[in-house]
Structure 1
């Protein structure tokens, strides 16, 4: 008689009683169901195919989360057993028995009449694991080796959670787990023996993992497409993170065939998440990004009295993935001769607020090693190139207007670079006893090294951006005095200052731009840089960039070098040098 119709939609779908707790009811919280939501009726509650698909998805999610629930119960029982009280006299025998067992030392011989059943113990241990032990090995390998290799400038502070968000999402999100396992399997094979990478069986296993990842990704995207704009933002963020991980994996194995498809899918999901707060709001105000992060929260509190706040896994994933997506979108725009698809968000996400000591919502330096202002100006040049392309197609290109727009960009670049080089690059040190505890890992020393490397990276990207602007306005002019100056600056930094040389893999785009404009005497230096990167399979983007460089060299000698963008794309492929 008192039946309520205000329960969450997940409980209604499962025909379960809902306690109507918000933001997530206790039923969904206990079962670790991520789709709990209130509000207006979702699109999948259609009494048809979508509703059946969602019911099946939730059923599978409940099954997948079963090991975590069992583990939680066991931990709870173990905790309660540490505080066992002596029962009443009627239970003295049981109490004594318990006490005898608990006081047994490791040296006590086991009862010969009841030997340990190893098979049963192993079976129970396997039930408690969320995934196989081999996957655990590959996951640790990813966190300790692959993540620093792919993103050497991404070092989230341990006291802010470090890369723990990746671990959390790998456990809770099968699609992200599969995307990461693909990468880890490939690099693990490389680390053991580079010859095994040609083994047909290894490739078959790798392709099977990739196929599983794509299938999971496809199912996730199909479900997301049926959501209203305010539904399942968490699932959208996880899917976006998985797409970007797969993008990096395919590029790592020199497969650029799906670059455009992956990029478009990630951009679509990003815009869907942004629509929750309004695209116009995000384009006009950087504080709107914080609104999105709040939707992905709340943060985790590590210490009592809420004194140590750590971003939730989805918050950290969205910030990291957005940085990579902005970066990829800008680099892709230089090859497509199009305005970056996220161009309208550049100012609010990449520029500092008007407040004192404010920082931009997205800091590319901590992710890609290059400060925001350089990538922002690369985006502006891409917009200029797109405008030039459109005017040439229409037959009304005004060269004076082209030069005028290019001059404005050049002045902005010069002002930023002058200010940047005049500042002393330093890392603020906060000395504390806790820092000393982590001295074995040399975290503070590592931070100083990364800061120096970031300074070099920013200068290399900045000089390369000047060269990119020059090519867009004047074509290939390697003998031009200003062009020669910027080429010489980059070669000096790459040859004598960047260490280790493997960092070149994070600078494939500027390396390619500079290489295309080198003169004959400098070509040997470019070849030597590429040849020194071993094994070649770990540096696919640099190798692909060098292929482009050699094509430009040949066309220059023949006197028929084309436009900048034509060398980065074909009818079927986009060479995304990220």
Structure 2
């Protein structure tokens, strides 16, 4: 089948089509030809340096050929459906209110509500069948594999204490909730195929897309079943759905595609709004107490015999905490690409900030490895970026106010850097043996310190670009870029942790000097198999575009770089 439109080749086509000597339809920011092939579409008014008619052009030609071949499996199967499109608008940069009600799910004692549909309670996985009465052999294997290998890979710095239940909540929800079960088993199936050393990536892609489609269908049925349900009465079932969407979203960007992540993030955010603040009238000062009350409603907590004083959170409480932490984080990172205020910004003060020395309600460090202070400031920079853009468009930018607001953020981040650098400089290593499990995990603590340091340097780079524009030759920019590269290349191990820092890796890489780019490229390409490091590979792909363009036409902000991709690139 000829994917190329029957249009005449012109001098305004993308440079990718010109390089391939193909007709370009000149659609922007991504032409239909490149979109159909799922390859990078290079658009620039100025002729790229690699288009030299010589060795560099030949090298680029070979690179594009390899990309066409690598993306072939993804073109041979249907892309996973964006179930969020039925809940929220999937358009780039658009948010919507999402579903209005909740889905009925098994009650806390394991019985089903009278309105639950048989279709949901008997949903099969497509990779071994599991229901409430019988656990198939394949599902037992995939469940164990998911808990032991997949979950730690996707969230390597999420290590809830065993004394508080660890990750047992995932197993409990897999047993009780069909939507959670399918969401986790399809992920386990994908990684299990990879673990077998399967040579054919096409077979793996066919398998995983089949499983993902089934999981999305289950989630879609769950969302459709929410109409007419009472939010409070069915809050546990809705938490199951929200947790499934969040986990599938992170799996999606790690191993599949970014095409639907905007729609899926919209759906999860809409559910959070509906679930946590269904009336929409909770005052900001009351949000913290409202959150704690809602968490209490998701109980009761469990007690471990024979010592009945050992209290463990319920599975729904752990699931909601985990999902809320990821949603707050995802929302902030998405806002840097969308040049918008984070949608959950109203919750930042209540849930993420410490009050009078107390621990914050949500500790992001315990889930993603980066401390709240740094992530909060990234959110503040996104708000500042949006404000600056609006003022510029209206022709009334107050530079003094811009600098004043930026200085407050910068001072907070610089104090964070000084504090982190003053702590132990032990090189972090993650180990999973029994003795480390039973002993205090100092290495994980060191990992989080260094991870936070990387994110903080990247936040300062982001702030510099928002305030002063694209200035990679600046001494201050060079300092932060060098610090990030040194930390990633020499201090943080294992190197697979880079996947959790794709955003700071991208920020530093875009502003790097030519002499540093080979090392950056090597860090990304060392992560194998590449199919499970999509965020890092995508970050490198966009960096390469920036490097080849020399920064021309960037309009001096990161959002332009992100938007040039045609859909949201969620580097989480």
Task: Give distance in 1, aligned partners of 2:446 and 2:369.
Answer: 10
Aligned: 1:569 with 2:563: yes
**Counting helix residues as a fraction of each chain, which structure ranks higher?**
1
SS at match of 1:568: helix
User: Residue by residue, what CA displacement relative to the aligned partner does 1:458-493 show, whole Å, maximum 9, x if unpaired?
Assistant: 110000100000111112111111111111111111
Matches for 1:90-239 after TM superposition, within 5 Å: 129-199=133-203, 202-239=204-241
Task: Give distance in 1, aligned partners of 2:157 and 2:281.
Answer: 30
Q: Is the 2:509–2:543 Cα contact (8 Å) retained in structure 1?
A: yes
- Report the counterpart of residue 23 of structure 2 in structure 1: none
Q: Is the 2:374–2:459 Cα contact (8 Å) retained in structure 1?
A: yes
- Report the counterpart of residue 338 of structure 1 in structure 2: 340
* Alpha-carbon shift at residue 274 of structure 1 (Å): 1.2
**Structure 1 536/64 Cα, relative in aligned 2: closer, same or farther at 3 Å?**
closer
**Structure 1 128/470 Cα, relative in aligned 2: closer, same or farther at 3 Å?**
closer
**Structure 1 28/414 Cα, relative in aligned 2: closer, same or farther at 3 Å?**
closer
TM-score, normalised to structure 1's length? 0.74
- Report the counterpart of residue 49 of structure 1 in structure 2: none
Matches for 1:315-326 after TM superposition, within 5 Å: 315-326=317-328
**Structure 1 524/572 Cα, relative in aligned 2: closer, same or farther at 3 Å?**
closer
SS at match of 2:199: helix
**Structure 1 178/551 Cα, relative in aligned 2: closer, same or farther at 3 Å?**
same
**Structure 1 555/402 Cα, relative in aligned 2: closer, same or farther at 3 Å?**
farther
**Structure 1 211/415 Cα, relative in aligned 2: closer, same or farther at 3 Å?**
same
Aligned: 1:367 with 2:367: yes
Q: Is the 1:33–1:58 Cα contact (8 Å) retained in structure 2?
A: no
Task: Give distance in 2, aligned partners of 1:172 and 1:139.
Answer: 13
Greater displacement, 242-251 / 399-408: 399-408
Greater displacement, 456-465 / 151-160: 151-160
User: Residue by residue, what CA displacement relative to the aligned partner does 1:399-440 show, whole Å, maximum 9, x if unpaired?
Assistant: 2322222112111222333334334589xxxxxxxxxxx983
**Structure 1 479/138 Cα, relative in aligned 2: closer, same or farther at 3 Å?**
same
**Structure 1 557/412 Cα, relative in aligned 2: closer, same or farther at 3 Å?**
closer
User: Residue by residue, what CA displacement relative to the aligned partner does 1:152-208 show, whole Å, maximum 9, x if unpaired?
Assistant: 111111121111100000011111111111111111111112423222xx4443322
- Report the counterpart of residue 379 of structure 1 in structure 2: 379
**Structure 1 182/572 Cα, relative in aligned 2: closer, same or farther at 3 Å?**
farther
Task: Give distance in 2, aligned partners of 1:506 and 1:452.
Answer: 15
* Alpha-carbon shift at residue 234 of structure 1 (Å): 0.7
User: Residue by residue, what CA displacement relative to the aligned partner does 1:543-567 show, whole Å, maximum 9, x if unpaired?
Assistant: 0011111122122265756521122
Task: Give distance in 1, aligned partners of 2:472 and 2:122.
Answer: 62
- Report the counterpart of residue 310 of structure 2 in structure 1: 308
Identify which of structures 1 and 2 has the higher relative contact order when contacts are C-alpha pairs closer than 8 Å and 6+ apart.
2
TM-score, normalised to structure 2's length? 0.75
**Structure 1 341/158 Cα, relative in aligned 2: closer, same or farther at 3 Å?**
same
- Report the counterpart of residue 350 of structure 2 in structure 1: 348
List gaps (5 residues or longer) in structure 1.
1-26, 36-53, 66-124, 427-437
**Structure 1 557/260 Cα, relative in aligned 2: closer, same or farther at 3 Å?**
closer
Matches for 1:22-41 after TM superposition, within 5 Å: 32-35=110-113
Task: Give distance in 1, aligned partners of 2:343 and 2:434.
Answer: 44
SS at match of 1:383: helix
Q: Is the 2:554–2:561 Cα contact (8 Å) retained in structure 1?
A: no
SS at match of 1:442: helix
SS at match of 1:286: helix
* Alpha-carbon shift at residue 317 of structure 1 (Å): 0.2
* Alpha-carbon shift at residue 514 of structure 1 (Å): 0.4
Q: Is the 1:508–1:541 Cα contact (8 Å) retained in structure 2?
A: yes
Matches for 1:424-435 after TM superposition, within 5 Å: none
Aligned: 1:507 with 2:509: no
- Report the counterpart of residue 80 of structure 2 in structure 1: none
Greater displacement, 559-568 / 345-354: 559-568
- Report the counterpart of residue 391 of structure 2 in structure 1: 391
* Alpha-carbon shift at residue 397 of structure 1 (Å): 2.1
- Report the counterpart of residue 274 of structure 2 in structure 1: 272
* Alpha-carbon shift at residue 283 of structure 1 (Å): 5.3
**Structure 1 209/498 Cα, relative in aligned 2: closer, same or farther at 3 Å?**
same
Task: Give distance in 1, aligned partners of 2:250 and 2:523.
Answer: 23
**Structure 1 318/557 Cα, relative in aligned 2: closer, same or farther at 3 Å?**
closer
**Structure 1 276/296 Cα, relative in aligned 2: closer, same or farther at 3 Å?**
farther
**Structure 1 383/247 Cα, relative in aligned 2: closer, same or farther at 3 Å?**
same
Task: Give distance in 1, aligned partners of 2:459 and 2:438.
Answer: 31
Give the structure with higher Rg (CA): 1
List gaps (5 residues or longer) in structure 2.
1-105, 427-431
